[in-house]
Structure formats: C-alpha cells, structure tokens
Structure 1
Amino acid sequence: MTRNRPIPTIKPEDADYIRSLMIHEDDQILVFNKPSGLAVQTAGGRGQSLDFLLWAFAKSNGKRPRLVHRIDSGTSGVLVVARTQPAAAFLSDQFAKRTLSKTYTALISGRLPDTNEGTAATPLRKVPSDRGGREKMIAAKPGEKGAQSAQTHWRILSRTESHALIEASPVTGRMHQIRAHMAELGVPILGDRIYGAGKLSAARLMLHAARLDLRHPDGMPLAFEAPLPEDFLAECRSAGLKA
C-alpha cells in the first residue's frame, strides 16, 4: 500500500510463521490469530512484530498490508489487517464509529462481584506508568482534564470464590480499557504486570480477543473467532474454571 519502499528481507521461516497465524485471507483483508508475546508494532518499526512480518505479503512495488487494528502484545487472538487503501479506510471508519463488535475473554481474580454481569463505565485518563511500559490508564472523574469516556460490558462465564472467566465487550476503544476497568473493579486480569500482580498470578496476560464482528469492505457482515490457546485453558483448569 506504500509505494516505492524498499522491501526488507523476510526469512522463509518468518514468512511461514506469519502465514501459520492467518485465519482468513482475501484480496482486501487478512485476519490473524495473534499469539501472546508477539507485538503488533514496535517502536521505530525495529524488531520482530506482526507489522514487520506483514512484509511477507508485500508486492514488488513495495505496497504492503496496513494495520487498522491493534491489541496489546500480551493479548492473544483476532486481529484484522487491510490489504488495500480503500479497505483500510473502510475498516478504520468502523473502528472510529464503533459500528463493529469486539469480544474478549479474560481470567480475573480478587473479590468477585456479587452479580454475574454488569457494565464498567468509569472514565479513564493516561498517566506515566510506574510498572513498565510508557503509559497506563487510571480512573478519572467526568470532566477531569484528560478524562476519556470508557464503557465495558462484562459477563461472568464461570466462577470460583476467588477467580472467574469472563466475557468482556468494550463499547469504546481506549488504551488498556478492559485491563484498567477490571483493576478498577478490584478484579485485575491474571498476568497483568501493569494493573495486577504480573507473573505472580500467571505467566502472561490472560486476555484473549475471542471474536470480531465487522463488515467486509464489500459490505458483507463477517465474524471471526479464535479459540482459547492451550496456556489459557491450562490456567482455567488450574483455577478450577470451566472454559
């Protein structure tokens, strides 16, 4: 999609790797099941990231797929990429106008809510992170400088006294929104090094982008799903939860 750019050399094993993550391909979009630990993008474009590996799909004139959607490095699951400029504009418009639907699965722990579903609507604002990373989100008062409206619907799928498997559907798309809202509720996501106990609770962030409902650039409604990875299922079993 970017013209007259030199094409970096992609090792055959890296090209095979990025293709192994693909769950859908057509002439306008690509959809991947991103593993936890693979960054979507890195500072300065250096180092391995999904964005860098997209060079495996570059054309000879330097045009390549473009990111329109991002999830945290530690988050696994569905991620869509545009292959053409019109497709990128079409998908970006859906993200901006919130006309698509994102569904996540997460493992949380703490003093669980008495109810099995609800909506977190605490506004959030960015502050420098004191636990790794450049920024984090904290609760803010409505109208406070830097406050951004944020809304996350959540539903408990399975629970014990101290742990739960939840489905979370963010209405807005703020940075770390689900992570910050769960921490604000007193039930941080397992493995969250910024908002929770980090590796003391799980080896990685137990947040999975399970489903993405959107309209294809040709107008057709589509839904893409990624099954829970084995490490996530193992953590469920360890906590006594049904996945």
Structure 2
Amino acid sequence: MTRNRPIPHIKAEDAAYIRSLLIHEDDKLLAFNKPSGLAVQTAGGRGQSLDFLLWAFAKSNGKRPKLVHRIDSGTSGVLVVARTKPAAAHLSEQFSGRTARKTYTALISGDVPGADSGVIATALKKVPSDRGGREKMIAATDDERGAQSARTAWRILARSGNHAMVEARPETGRMHQIRAHFAIMGCPIIGDRIYGTGKMSAERLMLHAARLEIIHPDGDPLSLSAPLPDDFVAQAKRASLTV
C-alpha cells in the first residue's frame, strides 16, 4: 500500500519463504504464521523482517501490504496485514478498539497458580531494561505516573510440577503484557530473556499467538489459527506437559 516507492529486489528464496508462511490470503488481507526469531519490523529497516518481506506482494505501482499490529520477535504465530488502505483502517480500528480477540499459548515455569483459571489485572509501566532490551514493563499502581491499565485472562491447559501450559487472552494491548503479567505472578514464560531465565530454560521465548478472531473487511467473522511449532511441542514434552 506504500505509494510511489521503488520496489526493492526480493530474492526468489526470500519470496518463497514469506509465501510459505501464509495461512490466509484474499484481496483484502494476508495472514502469516510467523516463526520465532523473525522480527515483524526492524529499526531503520536494518536486517530481515516480515515487514520488508511484504515487498514480495507489492503491486507494479509500488503499493504493498501494510502492518496493522505486531507481535514480539521471539513470539511465533498469527499475524495479519492489510492489502488495501480501507482494509488497513478497518483492521487497525479493531486492534485499537480491542475488539480483535487474541489467544496465546505459553509455557510457564515457577510458582504455577493452583487455580485452573483467572484474570490478572495489574497495571504496567515502562522502565529501562537491563536484560537484552531497551525497555521492559513492571508492575505499577493504577495512580502511578506512567501506569497503563492491563488485564490478561488465563487458563491452565496442562500442568506438571512447577511447569504449565497456559492459554492467555489479553484484554488490553500493552507492550510485553502477557510476558510481564506471568512474571509478576511468579511464573515467567520459559525462554524469556527479559522477564525469565532466557536460554537457561529454552532456546526461544515459548509464547505462541495461536488464534486471532477479527471481522473481515467484507463484514464476516474470520478466525485465523496457527498450530504449535515443533520446538514448542518438544519443549512441552520435556516438561512432561501433554500437548
């Protein structure tokens, strides 16, 4: 959708790669199953990112698909982009208005809750990170300067000792919300280098955007889902968790 820009050269193997990640395609939007480690967007356009690879779908006039939301580089799973300006506005409104329903699956370790489900409604605020990131989120009181309200519903899918597989539904869209909330609960996501033990527990962040429910620009409900990656399943099995 970007206008009047020269189309960068995309290697054939890179075009094939981004197309291999497609889980939905129509004339209004594209959806991908993003692997862990692929950045959605990079600062200054440096390095490979999903955003850059979208040039593989550019039209001859230079218009190309547009990002309407993001997930962390370490997070795998569903990501949707718009192919037209009206579609971008329609989808962006759903994300900003919190009507897009996001469901994540995560592997956690530590003080796993005894309850099978619940909601954590702890406000968050940004602070400088001292562990592999420019910023991170910490717990804040609701009236604290910089505090952002945040709610995450969670449900235990499987448990084994101090490990669990959980479903998380963020009701707000704060940076690192799910990651910060589980850390605050005392059971950070396995492989989280900012809020947990990083590579001491897993080679990657064990957080997966499993499902996204939106209203298609044509007006119909659309449910997009991505299966758990092989490395996620393998990590769950090592923790004796039934997938």
- Per the alignment, in what secondary structure is the counterpart of residue 147 of structure 2? coil
Q: Which residue of 1 aligns with 2:205?
A: 205
Displacement of 1:111 in angstroms is: 1.3
What is the 5 A alignment of 1:28-177? 28-177=28-177
Displacement of 1:197 in angstroms is: 0.2
- String of CA shifts for 1:123-156, please: whole Å, max 9, x gaps: 0000111001111000001110000000000000
Q: Distance in 1 between matches of 2:77 and 2:221?
A: 19
Q: TM-score, with normalisation over the residues of structure 2?
A: 0.99
- Per the alignment, in what secondary structure is the counterpart of residue 178 of structure 1? helix
- Per the alignment, in what secondary structure is the counterpart of residue 104 of structure 1? strand
Displacement of 1:47 in angstroms is: 1.4
Displacement of 1:170 in angstroms is: 0.2
Amino acid at match of 1:128: P
- What stretches of structure 1 of length at least 5 have no aligned partner? none
Q: Distance in 1 between matches of 2:113 and 2:229?
A: 26
Q: Distance in 2 between matches of 1:140 and 1:80?
A: 31
Stretch moving more, 13-22 or 111-120: 111-120
Q: Distance in 2 between matches of 1:157 and 1:3?
A: 46
Q: Distance in 1 between matches of 2:59 and 2:112?
A: 51
Q: Distance in 2 between matches of 1:75 and 1:94?
A: 21
Q: Distance in 2 between matches of 1:214 and 1:2?
A: 24
- What stretches of structure 2 of length at least 5 have no aligned partner? none
Q: Which residue of 1 aligns with 2:17?
A: 17
Displacement of 1:113 in angstroms is: 1.0
Amino acid at match of 1:106: A
Amino acid at match of 2:88: A
- Per the alignment, in what secondary structure is the counterpart of residue 205 of structure 2? coil
- String of CA shifts for 1:30-56, please: whole Å, max 9, x gaps: 000000000000001121000000000
Q: Distance in 1 between matches of 2:10 and 2:22?
A: 17
Displacement of 1:115 in angstroms is: 0.5
Count of matched residue pairs: 243
- Per the alignment, in what secondary structure is the counterpart of residue 99 of structure 2? coil
Runs of 4+ in 1 over 6 A off after TM superposition: none
Amino acid at match of 1:18: I
- String of CA shifts for 1:60-100, please: whole Å, max 9, x gaps: 11100000010000000000000001000000000011111
Q: Distance in 2 between matches of 1:88 and 1:6?
A: 21
- Per the alignment, in what secondary structure is the counterpart of residue 118 of structure 1? strand
Q: Which residue of 2 aligns with 1:180?
A: 180
Q: TM-score, with normalisation over the residues of structure 1?
A: 0.99
- Per the alignment, in what secondary structure is the counterpart of residue 235 of structure 1? helix
Amino acid at match of 2:90: F
Q: Which residue of 2 aligns with 1:195?
A: 195
Q: Distance in 2 between matches of 1:36 and 1:102?
A: 17
